[in-house]
Homo-oligomer: A and B are copies of this chain.
Amino acid sequence: MSETGAISIDKIRGFLESKGVKPSFQRLKILEYLLKHRNHPSVDTIFQALGDDIPTLSKTTVYNTLSLFTQKGIVASLTVVNNELRYDVLKDPHAHFQCAICSRLYDIPLKNDLFQTDFIEDHQVEDIQVTFKGVCKNCLKSRNVLDKTS
């Protein structure tokens, strides 16, 4: 497993405090999880994953914490997959690619300057979400295998 975002609990605590959020154990663990797993987890995924560390954890707390984080600009809830909220730690603006087959979400860097606009058609733009849908490289590979064998 990739441990890309291995950040110390102390740094996370400091970060939360700097954002005006009291760093409770639950909040620390949830943010740590989000930083470690950059695959846009759902509330349920987070809840399941933290169950081992925090046996008394309630799903309500996960909901509460994520909406607090959203308010404070720490995470963003994004384009819904299968009617459930997915969360993303805020970082450089990027697009998402969602596979129609395995429904995995990938991050796509956005180099294009289309997204520098502050106004479109008199509307004031504050956020941009770009989602590509299609078949991801993994599923393309499996599909090719099938094509060959059939």
Q: Which residues of A contact B (CB under 8 A)?
A: 79-80, 83, 85, 97, 99-100, 106, 108, 112, 114, 120-137, 140
Contact = CB atoms under 8 A, between A and B. Distances in A.
Taken together, the copies of this chain in the complex come to: 2
Nearest to A135: B124
Contacts of A133: 125-129
A140 B132 CA distance: 30
The dominant DSSP class at the A interface is strand
Contact of A130 (B99, B122, B129): B129
Nearest to A96: B129
A131 B132 contact: no
Contacts of A124: 134-136, 140
A114 B112 CA distance: 7
12 contacts: A79-B80, A79-B129, A79-B131, A97-B123, A99-B123, A100-B126, A120-B132, A121-B137, A123-B132, A125-B134, A129-B130, A129-B131
